[in-house]
Amino acid sequence: MTRVILLLTALAAFLLPLAWTVLAALGMLNGPPTLSHFSDLGVAEPAFWQELATSTASAACAAALTVSVSFLAAYGLARSHLRAGRLLRQGFLVLASLPVMAYVIPLSDVMRRAHLVDTFAGVVLAEAAVTAPLAVFVLHGALAQLSPEWEEAAVLDGAGLLRVLGRVVFPLVAPSVAATAIVLFVIDWNMLLVPLVLTSGEVRTVPVGMMDFFTFERELDWPTAAAALIVSLAPLALLVAVFHRLLERFRLDTQIG
């Protein structure tokens, strides 16, 4: 019983601010419910729906790229039996902890010279690189637990590397891979600094749009901002709700010898 009360307290602390935001977005803080604040979004920030599409596409592409690349490398690490394997894996975690701010200034310069500034590909590649170390860490945990016997059987049948990966390894760890992809999607979707520094108007994601708005046009009223917040949160909430079973497979703690 105490447990339920404590959980309800936590739930209230976590969700009441958001409930208040929903009420504000629906105009229920001072009047009957209305959807007008959602339609106001397109007036206050004409590119909002475009930004939403850009955010979705870039986060999906970045998450897919990161997971593919990290899956290959994590498998390679798991089957290389390196002496320093454990240290290398933890090194990836330190790299994953490195704040983007630590290298985003020179990154913006490199991207400008490579003519990747203000391009969709530039944002996707940079976001993918930022999250790759975390993905390698997590997927390595999942792959290292896999018994190599399944692969040996396929190799005896004459299968090459890619066939073994596609037919044997991937199906066995698919839930972990999918869970990792969802978490990365959330991180990429919410990322501000990378798209902020690497774009100047052509390619805009929702966080960048929100930031510009609040920095330059302070008079945005709260109900419209609340509507923007709800619209940008809803897709993630839906994603997590639908795949909550799968998300239980996202683990940082698999013990590696």
Partner 1 sequence: MRLTRRDRIVLFAPLAVLVGGWLVLPAVLGLLASFTTYSPFTTVVRFSGLANYAAVVQDPVFGAAVRNIAVFTIVAVPLELAVGFGIAHLLRTPIKGRALWRVLLLVPWLVSPIAGGVMWHFLFGGAAGILDFSPVGDVRFALLAAIAVEVWRVAPFVTFLLLPGLISIPKERWEEATLAGASWIQQVLHVAIPELRTLLLTVAMLLVGLSFGTFDTILILTGGGPGTATLTPALYSYGRAFQTNDWPVGAASGWLIAGGVIAVGLVYLRLARERPAR
Hey, what amino acid is at 98? L
By the rule CB under 8 A, 147 interacts with partner 1:
no
By the rule CB under 8 A, 91 interacts with partner 1:
yes
By the rule CB under 8 A, 166 interacts with partner 1:
no
Burial 69-79 (b: 16+ CB within 10 A, else e): ebbebbbebbe
37 to 199, 225, 232: CA distances (angstroms) = 28, 9, 14
Contact letters for partner 1, residues 5-44 (x by CB under 8 A): -xx--xx-xxx-xx-xx--x----x---------------
Spatial separation of the C-alpha atoms in residues 214 and 209, rounded to whole Å: 9
Please provide residue 89's backbone torsions phi and psi, each rounded to the nearest 5 degrees.
-60, -45
Spatial separation of the C-alpha atoms in residues 226 and 228, rounded to whole Å: 5
Please pick, from the candidates 47, 64, 178, 192, the single residue that binds partner 1 as defined by CB under 8 A. Answer: 192
Spatial separation of the C-alpha atoms in residues 111 and 101, rounded to whole Å: 15
Q: How many CB atoms lie within 10 A of CB 148?
A: 11
By the rule CB under 8 A, 162 interacts with partner 1:
yes
Three-class SS string for 189-253? HHCCHHHHHHCCCCCCCHHHHHHHHHHHCCCCCHHHHHHHHHHHHHHHHHHHHHCHHHHCCCCCC
Please pick, from the candidates 41, 63, 130, 181, the single residue that binds partner 1 as defined by CB under 8 A. Answer: 130
Please pick, from the candidates 57, 178, 211, 246, the single residue that binds partner 1 as defined by CB under 8 A. Answer: 211
Closest approach of partner 1 to the CB of residue 18, in Å: 7
Closest approach of partner 1 to the CB of residue 35, in Å: 19
Q: What is the DSSP string of 177-193?
A: HHHHHHHHHHHHHH--H
Closest approach of partner 1 to the CB of residue 39, in Å: 19
By the rule CB under 8 A, 75 interacts with partner 1:
yes
By the rule CB under 8 A, 96 interacts with partner 1:
yes
Q: Which is nearer to partner 1, 35 or 121 (CB)?
A: 121
By the rule CB under 8 A, 200 interacts with partner 1:
no
By the rule CB under 8 A, 47 interacts with partner 1:
no
Q: Which of 170, 171, 203 is nearest to 55 (CA)?
A: 203
By the rule CB under 8 A, 151 interacts with partner 1:
yes
By the rule CB under 8 A, 144 interacts with partner 1:
no
Please pick, from the candidates 49, 50, 214, 217, the single residue that binds partner 1 as defined by CB under 8 A. Answer: 214
Q: Which is nearer to partner 1, 57 or 91 (CB)?
A: 91
Hey, what amino acid is at 101? M
Please pick, from the candidates 52, 203, 226, 227, the single residue that binds partner 1 as defined by CB under 8 A. Answer: 226
Q: Which is nearer to partner 1, 10 or 35 (CB)?
A: 10
